[in-house]
Each structure stands twice: as structure tokens, then as C-alpha cells.
Amino acid sequence: MRSATDSPGAGGRGTPRPGRRFLAVLGVLITLVLGGAPPASAHPISTSAVLLDLGADEVTAKIELPLDELGSAFGRTYTPSNVLDPATITGLRSYVRAHMSATDPGDRTWVTTVTGGMVENIDGIDHLVLDATLTPSTGTVGDFTLDYDAVIDRLASHRVFVSARWGHSGDYTTLVMLSWQRQSVPVVSAAAPASTDGFLSAVQLGVEHISGGSDHLLFLIMLLLPAPLLAKRHRWVPRTDPRRAGWRVVHVVTAFAIGHSITLALGALGLVHLPTRLVESGIALSVLVSAIHAIRPLVRRGEVLIAGTFGLLHGLAFAALLGELDLSRANLVVTLLGFNAGIELTQLLVVALVMPSLIMLSRTVIYPYWRIGVAALGALLAAAWLAERTGITSTNPVEPVSDVLVDHPLVLAAGFAALALTAVTTQRIRASARPSG
Amino acid sequence: MDLNTDGENASGANTPEVVATVEAFLKTLSADQKSTATFDFTDNQSRQTWSNYPAATVPRKGIALSDLGDESKTAALAVVKTMLSAEGYSQVEAIQSADDWLKANSDGGNSDFGDENYYLAVYGTPSTTDPFMVQFGGHHLARNYTYKGATASFTPAFTGTEPKSFTVGNTTVEPLKEKAGTAFAVFNSLSSDQDAKAKLSANLTDILMGPGVDSGKFPASEGLLVSELSEQQKQLVLSAIAEWVNDAAPDAAASLLETYKSQLDQTRIAYAGSKTVDGENTYLRIDGPHVWIELINTRSRSTPNVHYHGVIRDKNDDYGSTNPSA
């Protein structure tokens, strides 16, 4: 209808997904022109559809031309059979080819080819369906502007819905309704809109991975345990200047970040690859070494050294995980940065949760016992992991213990804080109760 | 939203009478009905949801006549009567009765039609000083009247009918008889030279400035300049424009027609398809510095014959604004 009783039929023209750039702008217009869902009695308005499939090296398109409007444009009557007459279809193919083009930001016009030709009944209207291919001269599909005015140039009232999808599957997203008012639309290739999402999902993956990996967390905690202390003749003794404990934490966290960032980048780029079992065993060993160091210092400033060197192994484990993200060269850097940001954020959160309690507790007499107890537990867990990962044992009997660490981090941190507070308070009460002088 | 009210409105509007009838109508409504019928003056999206389609297809803003009690319905129609001229109102009734005819005779979808599926909406607070708008419409009808003090805008206004001609009892009804008749008189008067200049190269199957086309952008001017016409032909053009303008209450309509008359020599006429009354894709256009009128034969599947879609817009004053889609 084009009439009164016709209705809008935008519904059949691809399912819009919210969030695409152009949808917001055009949704209102399309809604106004076409209204909501057509009732059963209404007939769809005859509109063309251009359905773009954005590939890596070319864009293919399905072009649906309603026969009634096509006939009005050319001043003749097309039927499902006469429109497929060889001379007619050849003419219509070259007509569409002359009215469809893609131009990239470098002003290079792509090559348009139009093939095919069959009649399909869509929403009760016979359509001629053609296939088009838009090929960039650069060989890579990037952002481009689609110019399209087939039918519109001869039938000024005609409307064309342009939709696109990425990766040849899923629903098409409506980009624009072309009409006498507008015959071109910018199309964004897949990589660009993914970058923001890619960064955030990489951050999220980083957070999830380190907070869900009890080995990484335990490694960090083992390294933090001796931070308030000073290694002296292979023994841990309290620091005289507690402010230096803070600096030691910064050194540990930085060393770990540098270590795992190096191998994460190398691993993600495919430059370094170690067998998973070796990496996982090495991580278990790193926890064991750091736990032993927390009990009795192995070398002076050992925690920084351990954080940096074993951090290299942890980075390789992170790199293996990046395979879960769809990595292309275009967004590799973004993903790496996001993933690493997620890891560092979580590390800092752990430090913020644990360190104040640790420093408080280190000023009490119970700290050596507590430190050794926690480190021993860490060493036990690490030994069990090591045995399992190297294949010495087939199961891990202490797995449930390490799961608690991951499942209830806030409860553990709160419990630890309560313990530290109680210990400090008790010590002060005792000190004040002692006769002075 | 910064829809301005800077349009070059017609003067001499009967704003006090419209305000009185709108206030009287609103008083008859329940609180719920009132909230359905009233909108902020700044609600640009709602005001632009008028359409040629039946309300079942494109839901309208405002309250349906079918949802009003007798008193409210009478008050609602009194608003429309006050906004329009006597001829303008009887045309509204004729378009509504065409919908009744479709309800009884069309090939399916009958329940979408009928003279109660027309809606009244009030935008802003009726005032003799501050801007407000009254919208009335349904299938093949849209009246968007914006008042600002003693001035008013009457566009965009959609007028169509399906079928073109039908009988009620023994009476033949042709809702667009005058609008179509005066327009065809213009194009039938053309010499072959004039005709060639007026003929557009493209075809059309519907009007270009229909519902949803509120960007403020109009097609490039094409066709034959009225200044190239004889005095007699110029009068025909003016009569054709007057049939659309005179839908509005008389004084303001006369003021608006003066504006369009003063711009007559810069106005163009154009047609596409054919010039025959029942021709497939017959399309007629009057395109002035301000005025924009389109009339076309279009098709539906409800009836076998072509029917009319028509619109009048003002390039500088739709919704009383120079910037309707702001």
C-alpha cells in the first residue's frame, strides 16, 4: 500500500539488535514510518532489502527487490516468470550494479559484482532476489560507505532497508532506511565496534582468572607474609621501620606484574610456548618455594626475586587462557592491556584486603606462629598440587581447602582482620596492665 | 528538544475559542482519560506519530473516540469543529465514513476500520498566549494544529480516502472531491510545452512528505514555475492551494492563503506517472517557497481500485516550527 490498509512490515526486515550505532538514530524514524508489529489484517508495504554479510576480505549482499515497486520504477509489469527472462534479468543485474557501490575511508571504490536472480515470496510479496559482492582493492574489509539508490532513482517514493551482520551467522542488524532523503550509509566493519567490548571483557577475564585461580592468589599471599619482616641471618625478625613494609609490598607486586606481563605478551604473540603441564607444575613449585621462604628466608629480598622470576611462569599460564578470547591482530594489544589490567586490579584488591591485618598482626607476639602456620598450610597445598600436576598422584586430597580460599575470599579476609584486631587489642591490654617502671 | 515556535504562522487564529473547547473537553475526562489524552508540548516524538495507516497498524497518541462517553465525545468533536472550517469538518466526517465503508466492505481486516478509531491528543496547556497543539487523526487523516497567541500553524496535515467514491444510502460521498478536482484542473490546463516542463522523470507510488518525514528537509524543487502560467491558470493553482488551506478555521486560513498567494510566482507545479484521475501512480505536486502539497493515486489490498493519499506541509512552519525535528 502502499495504502491505507497496508502496513508497515519492517518486522520482516531483519531483527535489530540493540546497541548498534545507527539503530538508535534510525529506530525512531523507522518506527514512525512503519509503526509497530503489523496486525494480521495488514499487508506489508513493499520495500527493498539489502542484507550485507561482512566477511574478512569481501562483503556479500542479498538484494530483495519487490516486483510491484520494481515494475512501477520501470513502467512495466513484472511477474515471477517474466522477470527471470534472460534479457530482463541481465539488464536488472547491471542496473543494480550501477546503483550500488562501496567506498572506503581512503576514497577507494570497491569492485561491485551482481549475480543470481530468483523470485522469492517475502511477506506475501514476490521479490526478485539478486546476489552482490563488494570487494575492496586492499583485500581487507574495513569500514566503508555504502551508496545504494537502485529503484529509488526511478521511483522516488521507494524505501530500502539496509541490514548487516558480521561473521555470516546470526541475525541481521538494521542499519538504515534509505529513501529519497538519503542513499548512503556508513558501515562499520567487525573489528572496530569490538574494541571497547574486547577491552572490558578482557579486564573481566583477567579478574575472573586470577580470583578463580587459588594458586596465583596463594603465591601472592605467601610473598606478602614476610613483607613486614626483615631477613637477618636466615631468620625473620621484625622491622624497626614499619613503613618499609609498605615499600616491600610495592616491590613484590611490581616484580610479579613485570614478570607475568613479559611472558603474557610473549605467549600471546606466540613467541614462547611451554607445555601446559610444565607451566602448571612450575606454578605449584612457585607456591611451595614462596611458602618455604615465608617460613625461613631463602635469600635476602627473596620475595621480590621469587615474585619476578616465578611471575614469568604465571604469565605463561595467563597467556594460555587468552585463547578463550577471540584474538585478532587488530585487537591483540587492547585485549592484552585489558587482561593485564584485570589481573593487576585483583592483585591490588588482595593486597588491600590482607596487608593492613598483616602489618597489625606483625606487631604482636603471635605473628611468628601465625606466619609459619599459614606458610605451612600453603606449602602443603603447593606440594599436593605439585604431586598432582607432575603426575605423581592422580587426585588432590587437599583441593577442598584451596577451594575455600577462592570461594570465600571476603570471609577469610574479614576473619583475618578480626584475628589481627583481637591480637593487637589483647597485647595492648596486657601491656597497660603490666606495672610500669 | 528545542523545537522552536518561530514558524511564520498564520495570523487571526481563533485561539480563545479553541482554548475554551479544549478546556471544556478536558473537564469531561476522568483522571486516567486525561493522562491518556494530554502530552507535554515538548513531546516531539509523540506529536510526530500521526500516520496514513489505520490506528490498529500505527497506534496513535491521544484518546480514541471509541473510549469516550457521549458527553466527552461530543466535546472532542466540538474541539475539531472549532479548529476547522465547516468544509474542513465535513471532509473529516466524510473520511471517517469512508472508514465505516471499509469496515463493511473491505477484503479483510475490517475490525481495523471505523469512524470511532480516531484520536484526539492535546500537547501542552491550552493558552491564549503560550504555545500548545491539538492533534486529531486516524486512518487517512491527520490534523496537527499548533497555536501560539493569535497565530497558528495547520501543518502537517494528511488527507486521504479509500475508496475515492462510495455511497451511503442514496448519497454519493467523495471526501477528496474538491481537493482532487481543483488539482486536476491545474494539470489539465497545461499546454504540451508546459506539460513537458511539469513532468517529473521519476515515478512515485506514494507521497514523499508523508508520516515520519519530519526532518525539515524537502525534495529539491522541480517542475513548471507558476510565473510561466497564464493569469487564468494561476487562479487555478491558487484555488487548488485554497482547498487545502481552507480546511482550517476561516480567518487564519485567509491569512495563510495570502502568504501562499504572494509566493505564487516562485511556486512550481509538477506531476509524475500520469495526469488521469484514476491513473496508476498519478501524482500531482504544488511546491512553493513555503507551501508543499502532494496528491497521489495509491493502492491497497482492501479494495481493487486506486485511492488518494495527500498532504499539505509548510516548509517553514510545520508544527509551528522552523526546526520541527530538533
Q: Find the mean pLDDT for residues A212-218.
A: 79
Of A35, A155, A158, nearest to B58 by CB-CB distance is A35
Q: Which of A389-403, A417-431, B135-149, B180-194 has the lowest mean pLDDT?
A: A389-403
The answer to whether the CB of A161 falls within 8 A of the CB of A50 is yes
Q: Which of B210, B214, B301 sits opposite A5 (nearest CB)?
A: B301
pLDDT reported for residue A21 = 32
Q: Is B261's pLDDT higher than 90? A: yes
Q: Which of A15-24, A267-276, A294-303, A418-427 has the lowest mean pLDDT?
A: A15-24
% of chain B beyond a pLDDT of 70 = 98
Average pLDDT over residues B224-248: 97
Q: Is residue B143 domain-resident?
A: yes
pTM for this one? 0.64
Q: What is the mean pLDDT of chain A?
A: 79
Mean pLDDT of B185-203: 96
Give how far B134 is from chain A: nearest CA, Å: 19
The DSSP 8-state label assigned to residue B324 in this structure reads T
Q: Does B225 touch chain A (CB under 8 A)?
A: no
Average pLDDT over residues A347-369: 84
Is the per-residue pLDDT at B186 higher than 90?
Answer: yes
How is residue B228 annotated by DSSP?
Answer: G
Quickly state the pLDDT bin for A320 (edges 50, 70, 90). confident
Mean residue pLDDT of chain B comes to 93
Q: What is the pLDDT of residue B74?
A: 97
B277 falls within a domain:
yes
CB contact B105 to A (< 8 Å): no
Task: Quote the pLDDT of residue A325.
Answer: 54
More confident residue, A332 or B148: B148
Measured CA to CA, the distance from residue A129 to residue A124 in angstroms comes to 14
Q: Is B8 a domain residue?
A: no
SS (H, E, C) chain A: CCCCCEECCHHHCCCCCCCCHHHHHHHHHHHHHHCCCCCCCCEECCCEEEEEEECCCCEEEEEEEEHHHHHHHHCCCCCCCHHHCHHHHHHHHHHHHHCEEEECCCCCECEEEEEEEEEEEECCEEEEEEEEEEECCCCCCCCEEEEECCCCCCECCCCEEEEEEECCCCCCEEEEEEECCECEEEECCCHHHHHHHHHHHHHHHHHHHHHHCHHHHHHHHHHHCCCCEEEECCEEEECCCCHHHHHHHHHHHHHHHHHHHHHHHHHHCCCCCCCHHHHHHHHHHHHHHHHHHHHCCCCCCHHHHHHHHHHHHHHHHHHHHHHHCCCCHHHHHHHHHHHHHHHHHHHHHHHHHHHHHHHHHCCCCCHHHHHHHHHHHHHHHHHHHHHHHCCCCCCCCCHHHHHHHHHCHHHHHHHHHHHHHHHHHHHHHHHHHCCCC
Give residues 240 to 269 of B whose Cβ lies within 8 Å of A. Answer: none
B141/A contact by beta carbon, under 8 A: no
Mean pLDDT of A24-47: 43
Chain A positions contacting chain B at CB under 8 Å are: 1-8, 28-29, 32-36, 38-43, 46, 69, 72-73, 75, 153-158, 180-181
Q: Nearest CA to A69 among B280, B271, B302?
A: B280
- Report yes or no: B110 at the A interface, CB cutoff 8 Å: yes
CA angle, B50 then B52 then B58, to 5°: 60
The pLDDT confidence band at residue A25, using thresholds 50, 70 and 90, is very low
Q: What confidence tier does A180 reach under pLDDT thresholds 50, 70, 90?
A: very high
pLDDT tier at A324 (50, 70, 90 boundaries)? low
Nearest C-alpha in A relative to B106 = A5
Question: Which has more pLDDT, A149 or B112?
Answer: A149
pLDDT at A437: 44
Least confident range from A316-325, A336-345, B104-113, B117-126: namely: A316-325
Q: Nearest CA of chain B to the CA of A69: how many Å? A: 8
* CB-based contact, B325 to chain A, within 8 Å: no
Amino acid B92: pLDDT:
96
The pLDDT-based confidence of A244 (bands split at 50, 70, 90) is confident
What torsion, rounded to 10 degrees, do the Cα atoms B317, B318, B322, B325 define? 180
Q: What is the pLDDT of residue B109?
A: 58
pLDDT at A230 (0 to 100): 79
Q: Which of A214, A230, A160, A166 is nearest to A17 (CA)?
A: A166
C-alpha closest to that of B307 among B160, B188, B203, B199? B160
The proportion of chain B whose per-residue pLDDT surpasses 90, expressed as a percent, equals 82
* Per-residue pLDDT at A369: 87
Name the E strands within chain B: 38-39, 63-64, 119-123, 132-138, 141-148, 151-153, 157-161, 166-168, 171-173, 224-225, 268-272, 283-287, 291-298, 307-314
Per-residue pLDDT tens over the stretch A266-307: 887 777 777 878 888 888 898 898 888 888 888 777 888 888
pLDDT value for A4: 36
Q: Is residue B5 part of a domain?
A: no
With respect to residue B106, please indicate whether it lies within any of the assigned structural domains: yes
Interface touch B307/A158, C-beta < 8 Å: no
Confidence at residue B3, expressed as pLDDT on a 0 to 100 scale? 64
Is A154 within 8 Å of B272 when comparing Cβ atoms? no
CB contact under 8 A, B112 and A36: no
Mean pLDDT of A381-387: 88
Overall average pLDDT of the A129-138 stretch:
94
For the segment B148-171, the average pLDDT, to the nearest whole number, is 94
Residues in chain B, how many? Answer: 326
* Domain-embedded: residue B9: no
Q: CB neighbours of A123 closer than 8 A, spacing ≥ 6?
A: A9, A12, A44
Q: What is the pLDDT of residues B3-55, one digit of tens each?
A: 677 777 789 999 999 999 999 999 999 999 999 999 999 998 899 999 998 88
Q: Is the pLDDT of residue A207 over 50?
A: yes
pLDDT at B94: 95
pLDDT band, residue A366 (cuts 50/70/90): confident
pLDDT above 90 as % of chain A: 26
Residue at B4 is within a domain: no
For residue B306, is it within any domain?
yes
pLDDT for position A245: 76
Q: Is the pLDDT at B115 greater than 80, yes or no?
A: yes
Say yes or no for a CB contact (<8 Å) between B211 and A4.
Answer: no
- Give me the pLDDT at residue B106, please: 78
Report which of residues A436 and A155 the model is more confident about.
A155
Report the number of distinct structural domains present in chain B: 1
Mean pLDDT of B231-250: 97
Q: Which domain holds residue B77?
A: 15-167+174-320
Res A40 pLDDT > 50: no
Residues of B in contact with A11 (CB under 8 A): none
B204–A contact, CB cutoff 8 A? yes
pLDDT attached to residue A2: 35
Decide if pLDDT at A33 tops 50. no
**Residues of chain A above pLDDT 70, percent:** 83
> B307 to chain A: which residues are within 8 Å by CB?
3-4
Segment B295-311, tens digit of pLDDT: 999 988 778 889 999 99
Residues of A in contact with B108 (CB under 8 A): 41
Q: Is the pLDDT of residue A322 over 70?
A: no
Give me the pLDDT at residue A298, please: 83
- Greater model confidence, B106 or B177: B177
Q: A195: burial class by Cβ within 10 Å (0-12, 13-18, 19+)?
A: middle
Interface A-B: count of C-beta contacts within 8 A: 122
Q: Which residue of B has its CA nearest to A37?
A: B57
pLDDT at B282 over 80: yes
Which region among A4-18, A365-379, B125-139, B162-176 has the lowest average model confidence (pLDDT)?
A4-18
Say yes or no for a CB contact (<8 Å) between A43 and B301.
yes
